[in-house]
Amino acid sequence: MKYVVTGATGFLGANLVRSLLDAGHSVHCLIRKPNICIEGLDVKLSTTPIHSKESGHIEALAEELRDADGIFHVAGIFDPSPGGEARMRTVHVDATASLLAAAERAKVPRMVLCSSSITVGYGTLESPGNEDSAPDADGMYGTKGALRAYHDTKADAEALVANHQGVEGVIVNPDFILGPWDVKPTSGQMIVTMAKKPIPFYPRGGKCFQSAADCAAGHILAMEKGKRGRRYLLGSHNHSYKDFMGVVAKVVGSRAPRWPMPNAAVWAAGMAGRVGSRVDAHRFAGLDAHVLRSMQQCRYRTDERARTELGLKPGTIDVAVESAYRWFCDNGYC
């Protein structure tokens, strides 16, 4: 098959492209500029923008999509800096609309949209959230700010794909993903930090984790088997942060955290983030009060739909941590 991929120069996109190549598919990447994530790969690269207000853009984009069997729209950003909300809307919503219009013109039959678990509600270990769980967006992400804009633009992109009549759209909602090619790093930052020195405290909450390889597999299965307009959560292992950090400590040879994070410390960090973000929004994004509060809560979800409808067979969480840690070590992060 011939597939077009956006976001190939990012963490998840780099893993997806490699999985597609390993499966024998032809891959055409729409990128802004090449980087280490796709260096040396046997792929076609094009720099045609996925969204533009210039006349003739849809026609030019349709030419890039010609003869493709499907599109994986993985490109996405979280941008807390000034103007970031508009940039997130451009990448998540406007680019999705452009790709759908161009795909219809080029007669591409399928698109898989990589959204986020941020648009899905959560639950407990006994009753985790699923694709039909509605999030309390105001309570979880606030009524304004970058995190709320990220939620809203992802949800709007999902609606475009689910309701489009000319292209069969399927949506995947990854949760906390771990693996190689996390160049920033993002979700793997905890692994890098714990490899350098022990962390004494652990957040009181929990999260749903998955390997980048399993997430890539979920994307491919969604393309092959996903039902039109349907969402599929990708996140297979619900763990408390205490247990997860214990796995990381074992893999990196560090001491596991011993004490729960005091709520007062979380409040203080949130205040520091509020002040610091006025100076450097990107640097202090991790200290957003809503992000910090989420780490004190158990936010569990289930990938049962992906397992039963798509046939996803995820590996274990320790393999995901080991894969990420090995890549970080090989590339000088720790």
Q: Is residue 329 part of a domain?
A: no
Q: How many domains does the chain have?
A: 1
CA separation for the pair 88, 108 (Å, rounded): 25
Q: Is residue 220 part of a domain?
A: yes
CA separation for the pair 215, 213 (Å, rounded): 5
What range does the domain containing 65 cover? Answer: 2-181+208-239+301-316
The stretch 218-222 carries a mean pLDDT of 98
Pairing of strands 70-73, 110-114: parallel
Work out the pLDDT band at 154, boundaries 50, 70, 90: very high
Indicate if the pLDDT at residue 290 is higher than 90.
no
Percent of the chain surpassing pLDDT 70 = 91
Q: Which residue has the higher pLDDT, 69 or 277?
A: 69
The stretch 271-293 carries a mean pLDDT of 53
- Look at residue 295 in the predicted model and tell me its pLDDT: 79
What are all long-range contacts of 94-97, with beta carbons under 8 Å and residues at least 24 apart? 94/51, 95/6, 95/50, 95/51, 96/157, 96/160, 96/161, 97/51, 97/160
Question: 157-194: per-residue pLDDT in tens?
Answer: 999 999 999 999 999 999 999 999 999 999 999 999 99
Q: Which residue has the higher pLDDT, 267 or 157?
A: 157
Any idea what the CATH number is for the domain that residue 159 is in?
3.40.50.720
- Look at residue 265 in the predicted model and tell me its pLDDT: 60
- Look at residue 268 in the predicted model and tell me its pLDDT: 53
The stretch 283-293 carries a mean pLDDT of 59
Please state, rounded to an integer, the average pLDDT across all residues of the chain: 92
Rounded to 5 degrees, φ, ψ at 314 are: -75, 155
Q: If you count them, how many residues does the chain have? A: 334
Q: Is residue 256 part of a domain?
A: no
Q: Is residue 25 part of a domain?
A: yes
Indicate if the pLDDT at residue 275 is higher than 60.
no
Q: Is residue 199 part of a domain?
A: no
- Look at residue 196 in the predicted model and tell me its pLDDT: 95
- Predicted TM-score of the model (pTM): 0.93
CA separation for the pair 101, 169 (Å, rounded): 12
Indicate if the pLDDT at residue 267 is higher than 60.
no
The stretch 106-123 carries a mean pLDDT of 98
Indicate if the pLDDT at residue 76 is higher than 70.
yes
- Look at residue 261 in the predicted model and tell me its pLDDT: 84
Q: How many CA atoms lie within 13 A of 153 on its CB side?
A: 26
CA separation for the pair 1, 44 (Å, rounded): 14
Q: Is residue 262 part of a domain?
A: no
Q: Per DSSP, which regions of the chain are E strands?
A: 2-6, 26-30, 44-46, 70-73, 110-114, 168-174, 176-178, 201-202, 206-211, 231-234, 237-240, 259-260
Question: 257-266: per-residue pLDDT in tens?
Answer: 999 987 666 5
- Look at residue 129 in the predicted model and tell me its pLDDT: 98
Q: Is residue 229 part of a domain?
A: yes
Question: Longest C-alpha distance within the chain, in Å?
Answer: 59
CA separation for the pair 299, 207 (Å, rounded): 5
Say which range, 217-231, 285-299, 309-323, has the weakest mean pLDDT: 285-299
Which of 136, 208, 125 shows the shortest CA–CA distance to 174? 208
CA separation for the pair 272, 291 (Å, rounded): 13
Q: Is residue 293 part of a domain?
A: no
Say which range, 15-24, 54-63, 291-300, has the weakest mean pLDDT: 291-300
